[in-house]
């Protein structure tokens, strides 16, 4: 069983608990559908199929790659903000700022 190569995933406005998707045979059809859904107030992501199941035992595994467009920046920003590449340097910076500000520039030596 082959799945069409393009998918538009979308959420109803105000309900982030349910994700819907619709499959398309061409990228242009997917883009047109996502523009229509965005005009109706839905959040949409366009994806391309990268991997399909190779045998009947693996039927529940598909790999989809996000096609970046102007509307997917919120998703990409959220992923970056919650990633360790952003959180760890921010935490180290805040801790250093608090320590340096609290002690006039140098941490105190105890003992």
Q: Please determine, for residue 86, whether its predicted confidence score (pLDDT) is greater than 90.
A: yes
Distance (Å, rounded) from C-alpha 33 to C-alpha 26?
Answer: 11
**Domain spans in the chain, listed from the N-terminal domain onward:** 1-67, 69-111
Residue 64 has what pLDDT? 78
Q: What is the band of 90 on the pLDDT scale with cuts at 50, 70, 90?
A: very high
pLDDT at 38: 87
Query: Mind giving me the DSSP string for 14-61?
Result: T-TT--EEEEESSHHHHHHHHHHHHHTT-EEEEEEEEE--SSGGGTT-
* pLDDT value for 111: 57
pLDDT tens for residues 14-66? Answer: 777 888 899 999 999 999 999 998 888 888 889 988 877 676 666 666 777 88
As a whole number of angstroms, the distance between CA 58 and CA 61 comes to: 6
pLDDT surpasses 80 at 10: yes
Judge whether residue 109 has pLDDT over 70.
no
> Which of the two residues, 64 and 86, has the higher pLDDT score?
86
Question: At 67, is the pLDDT very low, low, confident or very high (cuts 50, 70, 90)?
Answer: confident
């Amino acid at each position: 069983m082959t799945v069409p190569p393009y998918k538009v995933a979308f959420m109803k406005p105000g309900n982030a608990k349910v994700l819907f998707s619709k499959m398309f045979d061409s990228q242009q059809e997917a883009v047109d559908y996502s523009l229509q859904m965005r005009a109706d107030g839905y959040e949409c992501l366009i994806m391309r199929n990268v991997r399909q199941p190779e045998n009947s035992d693996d039927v529940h595994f598909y790999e989809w790659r996000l096609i970046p467009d102007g509307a997917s920046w919120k998703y990409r920003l959220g992923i970056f903000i919650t990633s360790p590449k952003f959180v760890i340097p921010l935490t180290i910076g805040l801790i250093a700022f608090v320590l340096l500000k609290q002690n006039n520039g140098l941490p105190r030596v105890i003992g």
